[in-house]
Structure 1
Amino acid sequence: MNRKPLALFAIALSLQIIIPSLVSSVKAQPTSANGSQSIQSRLAADVTFEPPGSDKPDDTAGGASRGSGCPQEVIITGGCVVPLMPGNRDGLTVTGRPTFFIYVPQNSAKEVFFSLEDQNNKNIYQTRIALTGKSGILQFTLPENAPSLEVGKNYRWAFVVVGEQGLRPDSPGIQGRIKRIEPDAALLSQLQNVTPIERAALYGKKGIWHETLASLAQARKLQPTDANLVSQWEQLLKSVGLEAIASQPLLN
């Protein structure tokens, strides 16, 4: 008896069973970029901030202490402009045109005034930023027409809310210090081909505040409904004493 036809029939039957199963498995895989990014964001390391050591901005950029600050109960009722910064308001950046974040309470002001001084107290850039009247977190990136921050230099920034009577000595405002540093070779290598959430985690471990926050904000904008990213954002702000505004929305 010739068994070859029976063997071929068995192989064909097996293929009819296996191939549809493989096709079904492939179709079940997520095909959207957002789906892939969402999985990556859940698998990424938690974003934490480790304060820098010797690289931190020094006092040559002028005083920027918290002073009396803004009490938590006043922030909750929307009574203060608050910088999204660690408690000492010192921050590192690796870019010449960093992004700043501030919480703006709901008010009638139409603008906020921004100024930047170098370590010799010389004003190098100033501008006005339009407000919407809504409470939330405003972000501002130093534009192309502003001087680029130089590596190793200290700078002082300030935001002042412009009321109906214009800029006044008693206008509500905040200030802080920033220093640009050169990222080391190891960090540059790790930053290759990573997602925004992974980038935020890498910057946070190095104590580079401005890019930690900016990368995490970018991740949230790409996936605004991702609960993990919302949680990461809130936990990061709480870790530097900003729990009162941790759940405030991003305005832009």
Structure 2
Amino acid sequence: MTWQVLSGLLAVVPLGMMPAAHAESNMPVLEQAASSDDIPIYTPPKKFTPRARVGGSLRGTEGSDPEIVALVPDHVGLTVKQNPVLNWFLSKPTTYPLRFTLSDTRAVKPIYEGPVPAPTQPGIQSLDLKKLGLTLEPDIQYRWYISAIRNADSPSNDIVAGGVIERCEFSACLVETSVNLTCDRQSVQRNAVKGFWYDAMACLCTLIDASPTDAPLRRMRAALLKQVGLHGVAEWDLQSLSKASR
């Protein structure tokens, strides 16, 4: 989707009026309960701006078009990192060109707009801003989008998902919130409860990529996703683990 169309969408649908995500899915959840001590609890930041997510529901994967979901809360999510990793979901492989857009909410034109390599497998994907040479300034809100281009001549038909991210100034995060800079199960829990959604989710996805059949890790991710209303993606993720374990 071109930046002009995205700007038009935001002009028509203000931040506080974007449709809330009501993810629906008929897929069964695994009948395995994680220990309550293992479940990360996400606490939204005090500076709470609702309805910041674009897209967000998983309606079903039987159609011809892929579905894209940004793995973000429906408000401005926080990170402590200058070059965070963004996570998103693709329901099926696609031949549509994919594009990533990053914009400073204070500016008209995007900071970056470029192609994204098409994943060969469906599921949860990662996009590392460091590899793109992108750095977030502290205390500034940035919008980001993943778009599937269905028709280059008709940008309004693009499939779009995205969210809003803000970086906490490093020294303030360390002093005021004791953000955890390591990546393990404990840091996922601590960063989630401190409100650092992007850092908790990116670390959890990294751990799962290293151990894709680790059921407790998958249940931790599903719990976080459900806490921000992304039930369909959480259940898809758990079901894919169930199939892989057979």
Offset of residue 238 of structure 1: 1.4
Q: Counterpart of 1:24?
A: none
Q: Higher helix share goes to which structure?
A: 1
Question: Is 2:52–2:163's contact at 8 Å kept on the other side of the alignment?
Answer: yes
Question: Is 1:109–1:164's contact at 8 Å kept on the other side of the alignment?
Answer: no
Offset of residue 217 of structure 1: 1.2
Count of residues in correspondence between the two structures: 199
**Alignment equivalent of 1:191, drawn from 180, 183, 189:** 180
Question: Is 1:85–1:91's contact at 8 Å kept on the other side of the alignment?
Answer: yes
In structure 2, the CA distance between the partners of 1:164 and 1:119, relative to structure 1 (3 Å rule), is closer
- 1:117 paired with 2:103, answer yes
Question: Is 2:61–2:92's contact at 8 Å kept on the other side of the alignment?
Answer: no
In structure 2, the CA distance between the partners of 1:104 and 1:150, relative to structure 1 (3 Å rule), is same
Q: Which amino acid aligns with 1:241?
A: G
In structure 2, the CA distance between the partners of 1:101 and 1:147, relative to structure 1 (3 Å rule), is closer
**Alignment equivalent of 1:83, drawn from 70, 93, 98:** 70
Larger-gyration structure (1/2): 1
Alignment of 1:1-252 (within 5 A): 45-54=38-47, 56=48, 64=52, 66=54, 69=55, 72=58, 74-75=59-60, 77=62, 80-88=67-75, 90-121=76-107, 122-163=109-150, 165=152, 168-182=155-169, 183-185=173-175, 187-188=177-178, 191=180, 196-246=184-234, 247-248=236-237
In structure 2, the CA distance between the partners of 1:175 and 1:186, relative to structure 1 (3 Å rule), is closer
Q: Which amino acid aligns with 2:130?
A: P
Unaligned runs of 5+ in 2: 1-34, 242-246
TM-score, structure 1 normalization? 0.67
Which consecutive aligned stretches of 4+ in structure 1 deviate over 3 angstroms post-superposition? 42-45, 63-66, 69-72, 75-79, 163-167
Q: Find the aligned partners of 1:137 and 1:93 in 2 and give their Cα distance.
A: 19
SS at match of 1:123: coil
Question: Is 2:40–2:220's contact at 8 Å kept on the other side of the alignment?
Answer: yes
Q: Find the aligned partners of 1:97 and 1:105 in 2 and give their Cα distance.
A: 26
Offset of residue 222 of structure 1: 3.0
Percent identity reads 25
Offset of residue 184 of structure 1: 2.9
Offset of residue 113 of structure 1: 0.4
Q: Find the aligned partners of 2:183 and 2:86 in 1 and give their Cα distance.
A: 21
What are the superposed Cα offsets for residues 108-151 of structure 1, whole Å, 9 maximum, x if unpaired? 32431001111222311122111135321111011345331011
Offset of residue 71 of structure 1: 5.0
What are the superposed Cα offsets for residues 68-98 of structure 1, whole Å, 9 maximum, x if unpaired? x5655x245465211111134x211111111
SS at match of 1:184: helix
SS at match of 1:160: strand
RMSD (Å), alpha carbons = 3.1
Q: Counterpart of 2:14?
A: none
TM-score, structure 2 normalization? 0.69
Q: Find the aligned partners of 1:205 and 1:144 in 2 and give their Cα distance.
A: 28
Q: Find the aligned partners of 1:107 and 1:139 in 2 and give their Cα distance.
A: 15
